[in-house]
Amino acid sequence: MDLTPIFLSLKLACVTTLILFVIGLPIAYWLSGRSSIPKLIIEAIITMPLVLPPSVLGFYLLLAFSPKNALGEWLQEHFNIHLVFSFEGLILASVIYSLPFMVSPVKSAFIHLPTSIREASYTMGKSKFETLWHVLLPNIKSSLLTAAVLTFAHTLGEFGVVLMIGGNIPGATKVASIAIYDSVESMDYANANYYSLILFSITFVIVLTVFILNRKSAKSPLE
Amino acid sequence: MIEINIKKRVRIYNGTNLIQVKASFHHRHITQIIGPSGSGKTTLLKIIAGLIKPEEGKITVNENVWLDTKANRNLEPQKRSIGFVFQDYALFPNMTVIEHLQYGSNDAQYIDRLIAIGRLDAFRTHKPKHLSGGQQQRLAILRALSTKPSLLLMDEPFSALDNVLKKDVMTDLKTLFDELKITCLVVTHHPLETEGFAEYSFLV
């Protein structure tokens, strides 16, 4: 059995989670502040992948990044970047697709912290960044873990977006979910079963770990 | 002298309520601010701290203008050199007693002294959830003092302390205030709670 699709899926999930951790935290922190119309619009856009069929998102990303269209052509000409049918394209699509899984739990956690603890930090002369780093983030650790795991697991199970933007190129874009579909298409049920079992086991272990780690610090392990 | 002249409209369940305060507080003294629940005592403290901005007003502390809505000046809370004891304590759940104080000061000797004032020596490594209500309240007072503020704002700071402990803590605090030249405004809904502590009173 070729394990490349499994490693490719794990690599994609790791890179996506890492990128989303870096860009998702500031976005969640910003969104948790005073509400405004621009914020609501941006939050609606970020949340769209939760309800939008993955194939719709994949289709528009495919059009946007195609070298036949303006953005894709510009990226190719100026930076020599080919996002369609490449691993880099998969990462970008996954980051967009999994963004709400990182942002929503973290934003919710920031909102549920009592305002007085950040005020207490400010009255001690601490800046917003110091307060975020020393007070706010340590007190939402369980939500950060949940968000990271949800993002990782969600990326691991992506299919529609991945198929649209990446296709099925062995060693490059053929991730585990595509390999399962490919095996079933070619009636190779044994192979499909191997990939499925591995994905099932990895996901189960990850979710169980979150439940164990969060069992004391949150009301619900997926909080 | 602390000069305050502010107007703030606050939302209440059936509309809005106008809080209007014009007062002068003595420098390096303890003044209690008395008033019934909902009269705006906490809001006043938060306005002085810079945590709430009034619609109109001016706050001057020893000739320094902290707030002047006409001149569009509002000094950040971080730059006011204040300590704030919150009514709900607002302790940091992730920090132990000693970490709360180290967050405000690097002076180990001073931290030891604060811990002695709060009678928290046996609880240095305890987090807030492992402290009683009275211990949490004392920690909130010590944390506010950890930065050696020039103005200490206290919101119902002794409500969870028994009378004997309260008197001892108050005596130690007054000594510390004298040494560090701290001005203190303490909000209470019950004047007896700060009996023997405050030197002046102000009614909201």
Give the domain ranges of chain B.
Answer: 26-55+76-203
Q: Is A80 inside a domain boundary?
A: no
pLDDT score recorded for residue B179: 94
List Cα–Cα distances, A168 to A53, A66, A183, in angstroms: 20, 16, 12
User: Is the CB of residue B104 less than 8 Å from the CB of residue B146?
Assistant: yes
What is the rounded average pLDDT of the residues A111-139? Answer: 96
Q: Which residue has the tokens 């303006």?
A: A70
The DSSP output letter for A138 is G
Please state whether beta strands B2-12 and B56-61 pair in parallel, antiparallel, or not at all (unpaired). Answer: antiparallel
Residue A148, pLDDT > 60, answer yes
Q: Is A41 inside a domain boundary?
A: yes
Cross-chain residue pair A126–B94, CB shorter than 8 Å: no
Rounded Cα–Cα distance for residues B188 and B57 (Å):
23
List Cα–Cα distances, A132 to A35, A147, A178, A204, B173, in angstroms: 19, 17, 40, 32, 31
The helix (run of H) or strand (run of E) holding residue A211 is: helix A189-213
Q: In this predicted complex, what is the ipTM?
A: 0.93
pLDDT (tens digit, 9 = 90+) per residue, A112-125?
A: 999 999 999 999 99
Tell me which CATH code domain B26-55+76-203 carries. 3.40.50.300
- The contact set of A with B (CB < 8 A) is 114, 116-117, 119-127, 134-135, 138-139
Q: What is the CA radius of gyration of chain A?
A: 20
Q: Quick check: helix, strand or coil at residue B46? A: helix
Phi and psi for A216 in degrees, rounded to 5?
-105, -30
pLDDT score recorded for residue B10: 81
Q: Which domain holds residue A102?
A: 4-52+98-158+174-213
Of B124, B134, B141, B181, nearest to B162 (Cα)? B134
Torsion over CA: A124, A125, A128, A131 (sign)? negative
Segments in chain B below pLDDT 50: none
Rounded Cα–Cα distance for residues B193 and B191 (Å):
5
Cross-chain residue pair A123–B88, CB shorter than 8 Å: no
| Contacts of the segment A28-35: beta carbons below 8 A, 24+ positions apart | A28/A102, A28/A103, A28/A104, A28/A106, A28/A107, A28/A110, A29/A106, A29/A107, A29/A110, A29/A132, A29/A136, A31/A103, A31/A107, A32/A107, A32/A110, A32/A111
Q: Does B128 touch chain A (CB under 8 A)?
A: no
pTM for the model stands at 0.87
Q: Is A193 inside a domain boundary?
A: yes
Q: What is the dihedral of CA A81, A84, A86, A91, to 10 degrees?
A: 90
Please tell me the distance in Å from B117's CA to the nearest CA on chain A: 19
Please tell me the distance in Å from B78's CA to the nearest CA on chain A: 4
Residue A221, pLDDT > 50, answer no
pLDDT band at A219 (very low <50, low <70, confident <90, very high): low
In total, how many domains does chain A have? Answer: 1
Mean pLDDT of chain A: 90
pLDDT score recorded for residue A223: 52
* A chain contacts of residue B83, beta-carbon cutoff 8 Å: 123-124
Closest Cβ–Cβ partner in A117, A125, A134 for B90: A117
Q: Is A223 inside a domain boundary?
A: no
Q: Which residue has the tokens 């953005």?
A: A71
Cross-chain residue pair B78–A135, CB shorter than 8 Å: no
pLDDT band at A220 (very low <50, low <70, confident <90, very high): low
Q: Is A72 inside a domain boundary?
A: no
The angle subtended at Cα A205 by Cα A204 and Cα A208, nearest 5°, is: 80
Q: Which residues contact A40 (CB under 8 A, 6 or more apart)?
A: none
| B42, B45, B52, B78, best to mutate vs chain A, most A CBs in 10 Å | B78
Q: Which residues contact B140 (CB under 8 A, 6 or more apart)?
A: B85, B86, B89, B90, B91, B157
Q: Is A167 inside a domain boundary?
A: no
pLDDT (tens digit, 9 = 90+) per residue, A196-210?
A: 999 999 999 988 888
Please tell me the distance in Å from B202's CA to the nearest CA on chain A: 23
Torsion over CA: A78, A81, A84, A88 (sign)? negative
Residue A216, pLDDT > 80, answer no
pLDDT band at A218 (very low <50, low <70, confident <90, very high): low
Of B87, B82, B52, nearest to B67 (Cα)? B52
Please tell me the distance in Å from B90's CA to the nearest CA on chain A: 5
pLDDT score recorded for residue A74: 87
pLDDT score recorded for residue B126: 96
Cross-chain residue pair B78–A125, CB shorter than 8 Å: yes
Q: Does B52 touch chain A (CB under 8 A)?
A: no
Please tell me the distance in Å from A116's CA to the nearest CA on chain B: 5
Of B45, B70, B50, nearest to B156 (Cα)? B45
Cross-chain residue pair B90–A120, CB shorter than 8 Å: yes
pLDDT score recorded for residue A188: 92
What is the rounded average pLDDT of the residues A182-208? Answer: 92
Q: Is A182 inside a domain boundary?
A: yes
Rounded Cα–Cα distance for residues A99 and A105 (Å):
11
Helix residue spans in B7-75 (DSSP H):
41-49
pLDDT score recorded for residue B115: 96
Q: Count CB-CB contacts under 10 A for residue A2.
A: 13
For chain A, what percent of residues have pLDDT higher than 70?
96
Residue A26, pLDDT > 90, answer yes
Q: Does B93 touch chain A (CB under 8 A)?
A: yes
pLDDT score recorded for residue A169: 86
Torsion over CA: B35, B37, B39, B41 (sign)? positive
Q: Is A166 inside a domain boundary?
A: no
pLDDT score recorded for residue B204: 80
